[in-house]
Amino acid sequence: MNVALAKTTTGAALDGTFAAARGRLPGVGTVAETRQQAFDDFARTGLPTRRIEEWKYTDLRNLLRDVAPLAPAPDQPALAQAARLVEGLGTGDTQKLVIVDGVFAAGLSDLTSGGGVTVHALSAMLDDATSATRADLLRSRIVDPMIALNAAFATDGMLIDIADDAAPARPLHVVHVATRPSVAAFTRSLVRIGNRARVTLVESFVATEAAKAYQAHDAVVIWIGDDSDLQHVRVMEDAGDAANIATAIVTVGARTKFNTFSLTTGGGVSRYQSFITMAGVDSELSTNSVHLLRDKQHGDCTFVIDHAAPNCFSRELFRAVLDDRAHSVFQGRINVHQIAQKTDGKMMSRALLLSDEAEIDNKPELEIFADDVQCGHGATIGALDDSLLFYLRARGLPEKAAQALLIQAFVGEALESIVNDDLRDVAISAAERWLESRA
């Protein structure tokens, strides 16, 4: 009996979109073949639904309905708007690398060489016919429909190389700017960090006033060498009706420290999924994530940590503050391989519900194949302490101001994990803007 695999409605509708976009997508030959394979992989399932266990709480077929058409290349007015927005970010002295509507904007970026840092546009690397491995830039070790969709449509991004022993004086700041409504931007960046390097990497997602109901699909792949230190800060302040689906795939070398912080305040629908492999011995991982959501926002934070080497340490801390009818999801999974003896891995989720209609789903998982480990997880959910509110209000503070102080204290531990003072101020300012929006 011959069985034909029927495409989903979304997959069938995207066929025409993918065919129309092929002329804009960089790369031919093996690159084009890799894109087609990735698109076919996505089309078999379409947008993830509750039937996919990893997407159980974030049904994109229901939340997104479909994938928006590919954003056109930014014109001069769009670049001018982006330039004004980037100039006003107030992130301190950083080396800014700007992507506008899915296209690397070299004219808005600081491409100063030195400090062991080299930056190339992903589109140029994909178009380089002399490179036999250029198609590998679109391949992934993670099987996931949205990663496949990203590989199929990735328009641009960056390839960042950081040499052995490098210690750039300024943080590298990748700024994603959306300027157009009702379109989708697909970006993909790769960061290679050499041995004994000391680096701070920042990612920002922002939008101009004209950008509404758009979609940002991003993936970043990071390789960290041995004896290195990476501080990673991600702040997502997309438009309130936008969608942001982002993936980080990180491989950590031996005796390395990786500290990552993410803050989500924007986007009507968002998911940040991170797949981190502790591939070298004696390494340390610290992840701190914060959701500040209101109205009908849906935010998903999914972390999968693979302990694939002995004597590694990992800590996951997630905090959510939810108002109105907001919905937050935390999925944390720790996999301990048989070789990974002496693993110390723990995760904790804490949620603060400011409304009876707010909702959070927690899904912690431990899969342990080693016998000499310390692993655990915990979760707490509650409301603001009435006695503390009364104490503050009795001293003259309005209710919203009293709530703001308690919320700041609640997320303070995660914010303090940011080592760089300027970047910590950036995250605090984003949190304060969210608090002010509740007034």
- Give the DSSP letter string of 101-141: TTEE-GGGS----BTTEEEEEHHHHHH-TT-TTGGGGG--S
Q: What is the pLDDT of residue 12?
A: 57
Angle between helices 386-393 and 399-415 (to 10 degrees): 120
Q: Is residue 153 part of a domain?
A: yes
CB atoms closer than 10 angstroms to residue 23: 6
Q: Is residue 346 part of a domain?
A: no
Total domain count, the chain? 2
Contacts of 243 (CB under 8 A, 6+ apart): 63, 64, 214, 215, 216, 267, 268, 269, 270
Q: What is the pLDDT of residue 309?
A: 98
For the sheet with 313-322, list strands across it: 103-104, 95-100, 172-178, 198-207, 229-236, 257-264, 284-293, 313-322, 343-353, 373-382
Q: Is residue 155 part of a domain?
A: yes
Q: Is residue 233 part of a domain?
A: yes
Q: Is 114 exposed, middle or buried (0-12, 13-18, 19+ CB in 10 A)?
A: exposed
Q: What is the pLDDT of residue 155?
A: 96
Specify the 3-state DSSP secondary structure of 357.
coil
**216 DSSP assignment:** E
Q: Are 235 and 430 in contact (CB under 8 A)?
A: yes
Q: Is residue 299 part of a domain?
A: no
> Last residue of a domain, which of 239, 262, 280?
280
Helix ranges restricted to H, 326-383: none
Specify the 3-state DSSP secondary structure of 211.
coil
> Last residue of a domain, which of 280, 305, 339?
280
Are 258 and 395 in the same domain? no
The pLDDT tens digits for 200-236 are 999 999 999 999 999 999 999 999 999 999 999 999 9
Q: What is the pLDDT of residue 1?
A: 38
For the sheet with 215-224, list strands across it: 117-121, 158-162, 184-193, 215-224, 243-252, 269-278, 298-307, 327-336, 359-368
Q: Which domain covers residue 182, as residue numbers? A: 9-280
Please tell me the distance from the alpha carbon of residue 323 to that of residue 321, in angstroms, as a whole number: 7
Q: Is residue 351 part of a domain?
A: no
Are 274 and 417 in the same domain? no
Enumerate residue ranges in the chain where pLDDT < 50.
1-6, 9
pTM: 0.94
Radius of gyration of the chain (CA): 21
Q: Is residue 375 part of a domain?
A: no
Give residue 134's identity as a one-letter amino acid code: R
Q: Is residue 345 part of a domain?
A: no
Are 153 and 18 in the same domain? yes
Q: Is 378 exposed, middle or buried (0-12, 13-18, 19+ CB in 10 A)?
A: exposed
Q: Is the dihedral of CA 390, 394, 400, 404 positive or negative?
A: negative
> Last residue of a domain, which of 280, 306, 338?
280
Contacts of 237 (CB under 8 A, 6+ apart): 204, 205, 206, 207, 265, 266, 430, 433
The pLDDT tens digits for 150-204 are 999 999 999 999 999 999 999 999 999 999 999 999 999 999 999 999 999 999 9
Tokens representing residue 64 in the block:
């997104």
Are 399 and 270 in the same domain? no
Q: Are 285 and 276 in contact (CB under 8 A)?
A: yes
